[in-house]
Each structure stands twice: as C-alpha cells, then as structure tokens.
Chain A
Amino acid sequence: MHPALFFIFGAIAVAGAVNLLVQRTPIFSALSLVAVMGALAVLYLLLGAEFIAFVQVLVYAGAIMVLFVFVIMLLNAQQPESSHRSRVARLVGIPVVVLLFMEVAGVFAATYSTTPVGFSGRIITVQAIGDALFHQYLLPFEVTSVLFLVGIIGAVMLAARQEPPQPPEGRLPRAQAAGHGGSGPTPEMAAALRQPARALGGVGASDAEPHAAGTEVKPR
C-alpha cells in the first residue's frame, strides 16, 4: 500500500508544482503551492514523521502561504505582463538549466542504491524530536530565536518605513497611483469622509488606515 500512496501523492506534489509554474494568475500559483505542501505532508507521514507532517501543514500551508495570498491581495496581482523574452536569457538560460539537470541526475546516479529509502516501521515520535532538539541540537535551536529576531526587525523595517510613506519595497502601484491624477477626491474630501467613521468608533477608519501602505495616494 505504501508505494502506491507514495506515487499518488508524489504525483500530486509534482503536478501542483508544475501548475504553479504554468499558471498565469498568481493566486492560482499560490493555491497550487498549498496543494504541494499538503502532498508533501502526506509524504512525510509515509516516512513515519507525523509531527513533521502536521507542522508542515501548520507552518507552510497555514502561515507562510497565507502571507503569500495576502501579498497577492495586497498588490492586487493580476496576470503579469510578459516581459519581452530576452534572447540572452534564452541563450544562456537553457544551457545552464540543462547543465544543472545533468548535474542533479549525476548525483542521483552516484548515490543510487538498491535499498529504497522508505518507511522503516519506526515512527518518529514527538518525544524523540524534543529529545534531539533540546539536547543534541540545542545551539541551533537557540540560534533560530536570533534568526526570528532578525526576521521580525527586518520585516518591520521594510514594511513600516515612516518617511517618506513609500509602498513596501517601492514596488506597488506607482502606475496605479499615477492613474489617479487629478480626478481623485481632494484631501479635504477624504478627511471629511473619514470623520464620521471615526466618530462612530473608528472601526471603518482603522480598516482604511493606510499609513505606510501601498494604498497611499499622495495628492498632487
């Protein structure tokens, strides 16, 4: 039964990954990646790593991909405009890809053995993971906290820049904002529109508060 399951979920993972690349709509790419994560979780499960399998779902599908989806919503990413396919990229890129594949194939061929890696019948318990993590790999574990610290500070630095109020990474909607031109409402109108929401408890206002964001439209 296990080999069949491996091939089914392996195929789902590969199909999801291919779909991720082929899709033109970013949201579908993101959802394909969620499917890949789910299929990978089942593969972990087949290897006897229950904890890792569900952590894979919890962290990758339940947290990281949520961020991806949020970013796609934030940028209102539609179908990307295809850049003019550069000839240099094609001339250099294809040989490099072929070389890379050959190298990977070589590594596989070199390490290939007749004993398949599979479920050894030993379930990796949470206790075993805890034991390894808090004795053997204590230092790497503690270092990850520093990594998180750096991650938190970096994210806030990038996203919550105070002056000048720029979109994150300067990416968002130059073009969009430019599209507003003079036709948008004046700042006075905007302020007036915001007031009632504030008076009613500021709920609407807090949704709409774009202070650092790509939603900013500088009056011009």
Chain B
Amino acid sequence: MILVRKGRALAACALLAIFASGAAQAATQGTLGATSTGTVTISATIPSRVQISGLSDFVFGTLDPTTDTSLSKNVCVWSNTGTKGYNITATGNGGVSGTAFTLTNGSKTLDYGVEWAGSTGQASGTALATGTAANGFTSTATAPTCGSGPTPTASLIVRFTSAQMLAAVGTTAFTGTLTLVVAPE
C-alpha cells in the first residue's frame, strides 16, 4: 500500500514537472542589481498573401471585324511569398457553362481571348484557358496595391480575332465579365 502511494506521489511529481516545464517561457527575468536585464522572445507568422489591383474595364467601342484587335492594360499583382511568385486563373461568364470567354448582346455571342504577361506594357502574353491556372509568374511589386515601388507589374490582354468578330456581327453592344483569381506560389 505504501509502495502504491509512493508510486502515485512520484507520478504526481512527474506530472507537475511536465506541466512546469511546459509552462516555462523563453523570456528571462532580471535580477536585483545596479542594472537589471530581461529578455522576451517575439514571434509572428505571416501567411502567404497576394493581391490584384489597378484593374479597369476594357471598352473596345466599335470593332472592325476584318482586322484582329486587342487591348492591353497594366495591372498590379503583389505576392509576399519568398519568390514573390503567383499563378492566375481567368474565368469568363459566357457560353453554356457560364465560364467561357464569351460576350453576349442578348441574342448573339462574341468569343474573345485572354492573355497574361508578368511584366507591364506587353501587347501579348501567355494565352489563358478559362478556369485553368497559369503558373510561374513573379511579381515585382513591393506593396500590395503598388502604392510604392513599381506601380503596375503585369499586363492583361484581351483579344478578338477577325473570325470571332465575323461570327458575331451585330449592332448591339456585347458585354461580359472576366474574373481573375491570383494565388500565391
């Protein structure tokens, strides 16, 4: 019986020691003296984040269906990963699926193409497929909305081929929405 009690006491002591060690902090306390020094450890985790900004609508006006045409706009993409890498997924809102790169005027549809470049001022880039991430881009942005450092960092290009326009001739304006999702890499 005594042995059992001793065993329990030892177990309790061991548990106390475990709790005591678990509660121990890396902070160190000062001692009373002519000066006293203490230390604390500070820790923080910053998760991977990206941001796309600087977007504006693409307005083509009246198109000439006999000539391919495109518009390119500079946008800001910021990534805080170690490599500042990101991927981009573009999704349209047309077609049967509701995700095709297709505009509509209510009665007709007009397909378009989307391209992306990881630098500014580009007239062409990597052709995107709706809903599919294009990987391996790197941002030069140093602030989330490019408020400092390089202002825009990438190019978004929307393109119509002559064939696409000839298949959709109409007098009513075509509209649609393009959604861009950026993810850190």
Instruction: Decide if A and B are genuine partners.
Output: no
**B residues neighboring A (CB under 8 Å):** none
